[in-house]
Amino acid sequence: MTGIHRSIVILTGAGISAESGLATFRGAGGLWMGHRVEDVATPEAFARQPEMVHAFYNARRRQLADSAIAPNAAHEALVRLEDGWAGDFLLVTQNVDDLHERAGSKRIVHMHGELRRARCTTCDRGFAWLDDLGTDTACPHCARTGSLRPDIVWFGEMPMDLERIHRALQGCDLFISIGTSGLVYPAAGFVEAAPAARTVEINLEPTSRRSMFDEHRTGPAGTLVPALVHELLQA
């Protein structure tokens, strides 16, 4: 990697957590009890079958509590980059797990929400939530039952903090995309929203967005991200 960069935006997807033992959405293990993620992660599915949608996210939330699940070398390298970088830095993740935070990331945006948060559709409050959710769970603020949902952005809903993300993209001169298939917008379009940036894609395999990037590195994030961070901090 050549050149001096000041402002970095990093986009991560499920692939960065794969080596921590969390299944990606569209990989071989990407189905959940025979359902495609697109058929579970929607407001319509929640309205039709709330218990099924709760069960999907409860299983994922419980998995995060498993002592075997921990940040990997890629999450840790991004913390070294954030701590050692003199310029602007923003980590945008599509992931709903908390492995970036557990590694120590601070300047982070969860554009698709967070598994370990819930939201009440009655009083509109969002809050930390570590237990299972169900249709009979009462809101700790307004006491209403049946109106809690995972604080997750479903298909057809607006991702979080898009304004802040677009401001950072506009001004950045290095954009790095890690472990995302590039199939879900608007994240898939971020590479085109950073007009002044050198763009780098890291993925286990070439993605359909490959031609949009200046540089590709093919292989596991747990190896390639620490190597790239080392280069950037040396430069």
Binding status of residue 148 toward ligand OAD by CB under 6 A? no
Catalytic residues: 112
User: Which of 1, 5, 26, 69 is the binder for ligand OAD (CB under 6 A)?
Assistant: 26
Residues 40-79 that bind ligand OAD (CB under 6 A): 41
Binding status of residue 180 toward ligand OAD by CB under 6 A? yes
User: Which of 149, 169, 207, 229 is the binder for ligand OAD (CB under 6 A)?
Assistant: 207
The CB-nearest residue to ligand OAD is 15
Using the Cα atoms of residue 14, residue 173, residue 213 and residue 72 in order, give the sign of their dihedral. negative
For residue 115, give both structure tokens. Answer: 């598994």
Binding status of residue 13 toward ligand OAD by CB under 6 A? yes
Binding status of residue 221 toward ligand OAD by CB under 6 A? yes
- Closer residue to ligand OAD in complex, CB, 7/81: 81
Binding status of residue 15 toward ligand OAD by CB under 6 A? yes
Binding status of residue 24 toward ligand OAD by CB under 6 A? yes
Binding status of residue 226 toward ligand OAD by CB under 6 A? no
- Closer residue to ligand OAD in complex, CB, 27/140: 27
Which parts of this chain interact with ligand OAD (CB under 6 A)? 13-15, 18-19, 24-27, 30, 37, 41, 94, 112, 153, 179-181, 183-184, 203-205, 207, 220-221
